[in-house]
């Protein structure tokens, strides 16, 4: 059975943006669904962005025997759990579907099977309850999480620099407003989370590889292996991780036959993590140079949970006189709170379109959402 992580959280601070009284249903709560990868998540937020209910079901145990996420298994697991999770979320919030202002679901980018399940379920619920359906971009959810009311003392204001560091994405984005995203650079090969997962696999660690590698690195010597820092010091804000992953594979291949000593595994993990942190810090510095108007530096995505990486990037932000805003760990990885919040931000900005005819998209770049 998968791990079941269930939380009910009340966030105290209320968002300050004014909401027009004439917009009626915009004042009602929003229910959101996230099924783009291997987490089934449901959340309900009130119109101010306060979290009423949040539920995340991780499928690690289902995928572990295969050493990675199997799309077909993920889609079937979403299908199995989504109805009961949604019912439980509504009941915990004391709401009926008819009471909602809107129903939102991640509609891309991601694994198409899961997206079809989540968006199809959301559309069905919206039709049955006579509520609007909103098709939300997963990356926009990560991009706007830092603005969730109550997360940080000073509300995050536009424009800000976003470092999106996840399993499928690695990019620097100038976030100029809701629906206004300018890509400054991105990976030319692997995403940073993908590199963590591949190196973790090479080291024989269980999935999810990123957190397992970080735990192991705590006990390792980060100076033992001088792994390359791809694109470090180069102009621009692009990333590259496949050469680093190959360098780790070569070091492992040159070790003596037989099981690798535990301290060597830890040293490789620590040295790899150090190299990634250095590269990300360098790329963040370049991106900040390209965006002098940034008010704050925001990190998001699963890899933003990594403490070594957070510290390196925080030092860069401080050198530019900026604060680093990183969501709490449970909002770094995939969750439905960020999808509900993106839906609320879109509704407030007058950008929420009817998503009933939206076709889920496995690829859906953030900058394609941009309004002029």
Binding-site member from 40, 264, 306, 312 for ligand KG4 (CB under 6 A)? 306
How far apart (Å, rounded) are the C-alpha atoms in residues 161 and 290? 10
Interaction of residue 208 with ligand KG4, rule CB under 6 A: yes
Interaction of residue 217 with ligand KG4, rule CB under 6 A: no
Interaction of residue 35 with Zn ion, rule CB under 5 A: no
Name the 3-class secondary structure at 39: strand
The two tokens of residue 104 are 């939102």
Nearer to Zn ion, 115 or 288 (CB): 115
How far apart (Å, rounded) are the C-alpha atoms in residues 129 and 344? 19
The CA distances from residue 152 to 14, 147, 239, in Å, are 12, 8, 29
Interaction of residue 166 with Zn ion, rule CB under 5 A: yes
Q: Is the peptide bond before 208 cis (omega within 30 degrees of 0)?
A: yes
Interaction of residue 210 with ligand KG4, rule CB under 6 A: yes
Identify the sign of the CA torsion 91, 97, 100, 103.
positive
67: left (phi over 0), alpha (psi -120 to 50) or beta: left
How far apart (Å, rounded) are the C-alpha atoms in residues 236 and 284? 10
Site string for ligand KG4, 314-333 (x = CB under 6 A): -------------------x
Interaction of residue 211 with ligand KG4, rule CB under 6 A: yes
CB of 203 to Zn ion, least distance (A): 23
Nearer to Zn ion, 247 or 325 (CB): 325
Binding-site member from 86, 166, 240, 264 for ligand KG4 (CB under 6 A)? 166
The two tokens of residue 242 are 């496949």
**How many residues of this chain bind ligand KG4 (CB under 6 A)?**
19
Interaction of residue 114 with ligand KG4, rule CB under 6 A: no
CB of 336 to Zn ion, least distance (A): 11
Interaction of residue 186 with ligand KG4, rule CB under 6 A: no
Site string for ligand KG4, 272-301 (x = CB under 6 A): -----------------------------x
Interface stretch with ligand KG4, choices 53-61, 189-197, 228-236, 240-248 (CB under 6 A):
189-197
The kind and range of the H/E element at 242 are: helix 242-253
Residue 348 contacts by C-beta under 8 Å, 6 or more apart in sequence? Answer: 17, 19, 26, 178
Q: Taking a C-beta distance cutoff of 8 angstroms, is the pair 284, 185 a contact?
A: no
Per CB under 6 A, residues contacting ligand KG4 are 37, 166-168, 193, 196-197, 208-211, 214, 301-303, 305-306, 333-334
Per CB under 5 A, residues contacting Zn ion are 166, 334
């Amino acid at each position: 059975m998968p791990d079941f992580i269930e939380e009910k959280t009340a966030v105290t601070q209320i968002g300050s943006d004014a909401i027009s009284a004439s917009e009626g249903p915009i004042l009602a709560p929003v229910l959101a669904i996230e099924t783009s990868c291997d987490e089934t998540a449901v959340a309900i937020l009130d119109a101010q962005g306060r979290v009423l209910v949040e539920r995340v079901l991780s499928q690690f145990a289902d995928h572990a025997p295969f050493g990675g996420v199997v799309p077909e298994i993920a889609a079937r697991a979403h299908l199995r759990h989504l109805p009961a999770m949604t019912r439980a979320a509504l009941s915990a919030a004391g709401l009926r579907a008819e009471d909602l202002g809107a129903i939102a679901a991640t509609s891309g980018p991601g694994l198409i099977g899961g997206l079809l399940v989540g968006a199809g379920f959301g559309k069905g619920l919206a039709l049955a309850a006579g509520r609007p359906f909103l098709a939300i971009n997963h990356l926009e959810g990560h991009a706007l999480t830092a603005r969730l009311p109550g997360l940080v003392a000073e509300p995050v204001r536009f424009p800000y620099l976003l470092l999106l560091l996840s399993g499928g994405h690695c990019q620097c984005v100038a976030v100029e407003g809701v629906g206004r995203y300018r890509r400054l650079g991105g990976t030319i090969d692997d995403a940073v989370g993908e590199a963590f997962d591949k190196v973790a696999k090479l080291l024989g660690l269980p999935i999810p590889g990123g957190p397992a590698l970080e735990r192991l690195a705590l006990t390792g010597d980060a100076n033992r292996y001088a792994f390359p820092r791809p694109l470090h010091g180069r102009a621009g804000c692009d990333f590259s991780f496949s050469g680093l992953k190959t360098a780790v594979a070569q070091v492992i291949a040159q070790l003596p036959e037989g099981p690798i000593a535990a301290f060597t595994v830890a040293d490789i993990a620590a040295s790899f993590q150090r190299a990634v942190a250095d590269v990300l810090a360098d790329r963040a510095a370049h991106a900040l140079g390209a965006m002098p108007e940034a008010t704050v530096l925001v990190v998001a995505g699963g890899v933003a949970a990594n403490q070594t990486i957070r510290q390196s990037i925080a030092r860069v932000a401080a050198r530019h006189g900026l604060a680093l805003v990183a969501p709490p760990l449970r909002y770094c990885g995939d969750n439905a709170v960020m999808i509900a919040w993106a839906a609320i931000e879109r509704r407030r900005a007058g950008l929420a379109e009817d998503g009933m005819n939206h076709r889920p998209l496995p690829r859906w770049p953030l900058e394609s959402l941009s309004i002029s």
